Structure 1
Amino acid sequence: MLGEFIKYDPENKSGYEDLVLEVCGLQYRKQASGFAVVVPPLNAGSSVDDHPDEAEFESAYSKLSEEEQKRLCCFLLFPAEAEIKKREIIHCWIGMRFMDSMDAEHLLAKFVSVGLIERTFLYKKILNRYRMPISVRSCLLGRQTNPLAQIKNDGSWSILHHQKMGNLDETEPMRRSLLRRMTMVGSPPPDPSAISDGNTDPEALLNVSQTTLNAARFKTMSGMEKLRVVHLGRWHQDSKEYIVVEDIEAFKYLRNLSNVAFLSLEGVSGIVKLPESVYDLRLLKVLDLRACNNLETLPPGIKSLDLTILDLSGCYLLDHVPLGITSLTNLQQLKGFVINNDQLQQKPNGRTKRKTKEKGKRTAASSPCSFGELSKLEKLRKLTILTRKMNFPTPQDFETLCELENLSCLRITWVGNSTTEVPPDSDDLGMFPSSLEKLELQAAPNPIASRLLSLISQDTENCGLEKLYLRGGGLRELKHFFPQPTIVRLRYLPQLQINWDDFIKLFPNLKRLEVLGCPNLALFPCDENGIWENTQ
């Protein structure tokens, strides 16, 4: 309906859009990086304007450098109108050797500001997902002066490759000699010679929808020796869907892909031990093993890699992370680091077993990595921890955290049961690193949560904490003063009791509050979506 109004009255297009935004109760959002404003899509299936003037697209597109245009084309690797998680597109950029993760968020914000992609909202909650409007996708594919991409889609696999062109313009530098072309191929993947005819080199492979991977598929893939991005795992938001590998031995074909910089096995089941062939990928920068639900062991060969991002989130059977990880001196993000109880190894099903003597001698690289050893990772910026020690963090652990001078994001999840003993309070625990900007505490026992919140409130001079997220656990009260945080999330805290007047006094600089599953908060002025924003 909106498209029809705009079609017949284009001069008042902006007025119609503003009216729809007002009726829907949606507001413009500013990107954290300062790039203009973000208008959320009105629904998941369409944008404000389904048929934009091509001149508008060209105007926005022309504001990008050639390198930025190449990065934008990576969105074409995913299905039309797909909601793409931020980390997926950033990992692809790193894999294609376009940029590192620190610059990526600024570029995403720029793409949003000029209208080439949209930030995804759920009600009023900002999600870390993006989508390219179908109209923008069509214009990008249909450009005549610079045919960046060509699509053939049956929804199974996506391949991105360069096409070597002749000299398009003798006055243009050599850097314009490579243009992007995209091909969507079905099941099974084509023979490499069919897509690499001497003029093309496949560089990215995405599993769009296949839930089963067989040996033939791996063998075919091994012929694409120029691949930089191999995304075999899950990329969408359906966390209940897993991908099955019929023959683990088929992973041996990976060793032929010596140029791979990003390997995703997210949601791939049946991997108990990470195949040794992965460690032959010496150019690998991003290894995504998120939600590999059968993964129990990382071999010591991990020390041979030069990773910048390692994601082990959701690998709940993983008993420990090997000491060899401390050799990854360029690691910037480590997600899913495991801390076990010294005496007991607690399994996710609640059962415990005593440690037994292992057959043979463990090598140094395969021995469990203690938390203190992480101080060697001087470039670490993001760290998520799963701890089965209820007294974590100890004073020694705080010393390790403070040695990570670049650490800006920290998430700690406690895994235990109600009978686990928590040590008595200590007044001399330590402080969080001054570089910390975001802290998330998940399932923290009440004594631990209260103690850590007390430390944050005491360190008013050195702490630059901007975001404080509390999710699950036994927290019962908030009683400390927090002058730093501007964004707070309270989720699934059934025992927390406080009224609004007392709460807002504790957070004088609060700009945004998100509440979910906290039934004992009194008189909080949140809207129907659990959101409160300071509009003053």
Structure 2
Amino acid sequence: MVLNKANPLSLTGVVFDPNKVLDQLSDLHFSKVFGDSPTFKDFRVVYNSLCVTTKLCFLCFAVFPANEVIKKRLLVHWWIGEGFLNPPIDSKETVVEIADGVFEELTKKGCIEPVYKKRRSVVHSFKMHPLIRSAVIVIAKEVRFFDFDSKGNPTANFSWSHRACLMNGSSHLTLANRPDLDPEKLQIIFNVNEAYPDFSKVDWSRLRNVKVLYLGRWHSRANHHIEVDDIEFFKGMRYMRHLIFFSLRGISRIMELPDSLCKLSSLRILDLSACHNLETLPEKIGSLKMLTHLDMSECYLLEHMPKGIALLSELKVLKGFIICDHKNDSSCTLHDLSALKKLRKLTINTSREDFPREEELIVFQQFGSLRKLTIAWGGLYLPAIQPATSNTLKSRGGNQTQDNAAPGPATPTGIRNHIRKIPSRLPTFKRMTRTTTMNQEHFKELEKLDLQCYPQMTASSWLMPGKLKSLKKLYVRGGQLQSLGQVHENDKWTIRILRLKFLSELKMDWNELQVSFPDLIYLEKFRCPKLTFFPCDASGLWLKP
């Protein structure tokens, strides 16, 4: 059975004001009629048809407001923390594949709606219809998954749900001191929309069984501000030996992380992304032996990478790793990272124009499991950048208009504002050498490559089809690139998805691209005025017929 949300106004006994229908739909759980309506009965049939794992994953959507866009990655990490996604030991199915099956079933049955970006086939976000959310709230409270107030907002009451939510206005988290609550039963703490969480009155030693601690921003909107006045609460976290997923995403005024964080022996996912004030990571971070995901992206003040990162033998995803010019014997290097045999996704930020050098390309050969690589060059002197004027400053604020035909501002001004600027202590840079052995394949298993603010005018010797034979996705955003290099008759790109943005100097016509990329099925171009005769639509997209 599939839910039909096309006519949500057909609930018998419920009268809607057409001008306020969305607000009324979000409050349906209030109505006594709703529980007896055919629509809710249909929903219950669909819910009961789900397996136990899918039911539990589905109920997590209840904490989010209706129609809010929710990142798939957040939900998967939450489900991992809860222990919902545990593939059998003898199964070849991965956690991600199990999660994809959950999303697919919920989508097919009309429980959630995929959010497509342009016309891309891959879905990274979902949302929930107000009618469905009202029904989920009823079920979630019925099965004691969450507690809700009279307005349908999740609360911090975990007397029977074992899950507490932080809501706007409840900044003083006093849940651990309430006599009617047993802190040792609490397993999930999730910040829904509290901008100023206060943990000064929390006895963290009694929260030793918490598995998911999500204090940061889950919204895709960066303007959702969160900050903390006191980070002393970190010291008490050393008791939380069962914590699996910890997020501080987007929280301001956190300048350092204490060594007590390194005592979280069960921690698998650590999200520090967009902590813009973060300057220092704990040197003992290598003690987190179970860590599989470490996200430091958009931490603009970080300069030093502790050597301990190379000791995280279970690490599969590492984002925001910094490679700078200055020599620091205590910093973790790319060579050190080669010990991480399970690493599948790596994001590198560098201030070096000549990265990667020949010796670093050789190191990349040791990353046998690496499938996705992002390199962002920042803090470079790029002569093509025009001096800031009132017009260019306005364009850098993010309110840029699409222009796929006429030349726009010299790139990478359009993207450079969004790429971290890494401090560099050396005023000059060496050019990338061409002495790399021509027959070496440095990225044998790499499937996706994302290059941001590429500093060279011509493609380096490693950026060739013969060196990237498994590559299926190539993104180039910003920089000085004029050509994607020469392609030989028997050595063409295997890329299926190509995205080119903010490349004012890149020259290529459509016929030339088709010869170089014979397997291409999806092309996206933006602010690339010298790409001529491309049959893209008004938004810069082309899909293979």
Distance in 2 separating the partners of 1:383 and 1:255: 28
* Contact 2:156/2:175, CA 8 A, preserved across alignment: no
Greater mean deviation of Cα atoms: 426-435 or 143-152: 143-152
Q: Deviations over 1:265-310 (max 9, x none)?
A: 1112222221222112211111111111122221221111121100
Q: Which amino acid aligns with 1:210?
A: E
In structure 2, the residue matched to 1:85 is 71
Aligned residue in 2 for 1:27:
none
| Stretches of structure 2 lacking an aligned partner (at least 5 in a row) | 11-21, 27-33, 86-94, 383-427
> Are 1:141 and 1:148, in contact at CA under 8 Å, matched by a contact in 2?
no
Tell me if structure 1 keeps the 8 A contact 2:286–2:308: yes
**CA displacement, residues 244-268 of structure 1 (integer Å, 9 cap, x when unaligned):** 2212223223223332111111112
Structure 1 range deviating more: 221-230 or 85-94: 221-230
Change (3 A) 1:450 1:395: closer
Query: Which position in structure 1 is the counterpart of 2:366?
Result: 403
1:458 maps onto 2:466 in alignment? yes
Show the counterpart of 1:321: 305
Match of 1:252 among 232, 235, 244: 235
Question: Structure 1 or 2: larger strand share?
Answer: 1
Count residues with an aligned counterpart. 458
Deviation, structure 1 residue 437: 1.3
- Aligned-partner SS, 1:273: coil
Equivalent residue of 1:451, what SS? coil
> Contact between 2:59 and 2:145, CA under 8 Å: does it hold in 1?
yes
For the pair 1:487 / 2:484, whether they are aligned, the reply is no
Aligned position for 1:525? 535
User: Which of residues 454, 474, 493 is equivalent to 1:468?
Assistant: 474
Q: Secondary structure at the match of 1:493?
A: coil
Q: Single out whichever of 255-264 and 378-387 deviates more from structure 2.
A: 255-264
For the pair 1:119 / 2:114, whether they are aligned, the reply is: yes
Aligned-partner Cα distance in 2 for 1:230–1:195: 22
| TM-score, normalised relative to structure 1 | 0.76
Give matches, 1:90-239, under 5 Å.
90-99=76-85, 100-101=95-96, 103-125=98-120, 128-143=124-139, 148-152=145-149, 159=156, 163=160, 187=170, 188-192=172-176, 194=178, 197=181, 201-216=185-200, 219=202, 223-239=206-222
C-alpha spacing 1:103/1:374, structure 2 compared with 1 (3 Å): farther
1:473 is aligned with what amino acid? Answer: G
1:289 aligns with 2:272: yes
Letter in 2 for 1:246: D
**Does the 8 Å contact 1:156/1:210 carry over to 2?**
no
The structural deviation recorded for 1:223 is 4.2
Q: Is the 8 A contact 1:151 1:183 kept in 2?
A: no
How far has the Cα of 1:229 moved from its partner?
0.9
Deviation at residue 466 of structure 1 after TM alignment: 1.3
Q: Which residue of 2 aligns with 1:371?
A: 334
Given that 1:213 and 1:244 are in contact with CA atoms closer than 8 Å, whether structure 2 keeps it comes out as yes
1:68 has 2:68 as partner: no
* Partners of 2:215 and 2:503 in 1: CA distance: 37
Using the alignment, how far apart are the partners of 1:161 and 1:448 within structure 2?
59
Q: Give secondary structure in 2 for the equivalent of 1:70.
A: helix
* CA distance 1:503–1:151, change in 2 (3 Å): same
1:7 Cα offset (Å): 6.1
Segments of 5+ residues of structure 1 without an aligned counterpart are 9-42, 164-178, 344-354, 356-361
2:296 pairs with one of 303, 312, 334: 312
Separation (CA, whole Å) in 1 of partners of 2:208 and 2:527: 50
Per-residue CA distance 1:109-137 (angstroms, 9 max, x = gap): 33223322222134435662211222222
Q: Distance in 2 between matches of 1:286 and 1:444?
A: 30
Contact 2:148-2:155 at 8 Å conserved across structures: no
Could you tell me how far apart the structure 2 residues matched to 1:252 and 1:285 are? 19
Q: 1:516 aligns with which of 517, 526, 534?
A: 526
C-alpha change, 1:181 and 1:240, in structure 2 (3 Å) is: closer
- Aligned equivalent of 1:413: 376
Distance in 2 (alpha carbons) for counterparts of 1:228 and 1:195 = 22
Alignment check: 8 A CA contact 1:212 1:244 kept? yes
| Pairwise CA distance, 1:82 | 1.9
Q: Evaluate the alpha carbon distance shift between residue 234 and residue 147 of structure 1 in structure 2; reply closer, same or farther with a 3 A threshold.
A: closer
Output aligned runs, 1:441-452, within 5 Å: 441-447=451-457, 449-452=459-462
Distance in 1 (CA, whole Å) between partners of 2:60 and 2:509 is 47
Residue pair 2:298, 2:320 contacting (<8 A) in 1 also: yes
**Identity across the alignment (%):** 33
RMSD: 3.5
What is the deviation of 1:496? 1.1
Deviation at 1:191, TM superposition (A): 2.5
1:162 touches 1:203 (CA, 8 Å); kept in 2? Answer: no
Q: Distance in 2 between matches of 1:252 and 1:427?
A: 49
What is the TM-score normalised by the length of structure 2? 0.75
Distance 2:494 2:159 in 1: 48
